[in-house]
Amino acid sequence: VPFGKEVGFVIGDLYIEGKPVEDSPRWVLKRQIEKAAEAGYIFKTGVEPEFFFISKETTEIHDTKDTLPKPCYETATIMPRYGELRDIVHALNDAGFGVYQT
């Protein structure tokens, strides 16, 4: 993310010869949701996409300008990358994720 508008991204249930691929993550999850429901539970989950900004000039993940006690949680560190962060949030929202916090 952000994907270009010309890039396709498909999420789906896997089938081979008309039968579910039982070991695929989506089918495993569906079975666990059914078991939880049978036991009286409601299964709730969410997506928490995480990523790192890295420099084109280095392969290091660490931002050398981020010297604060709680790196990546301080406004002073985040704001210089605001434009990139905004673009990523817009792309995630366009993809239907419904980002409500950054």
Average pLDDT by stretches of 10, the chain with 102 residues: 67 91 92 95 80 69 69 74 87 84 74
Percent helix, strand, coil in the chain, to 5, is 35, 5, 65
CA 71 centroid distance within chain: 20
pLDDT of residue 6: 75
End-to-end Cα distance, the chain: 15
pLDDT of residue 16: 94
Which residue ranges make up each domain of the chain?
Answer: 1-45, 47-95
20 has which bridge partners? 15
Strands (E), the chain: 15-16, 19-20
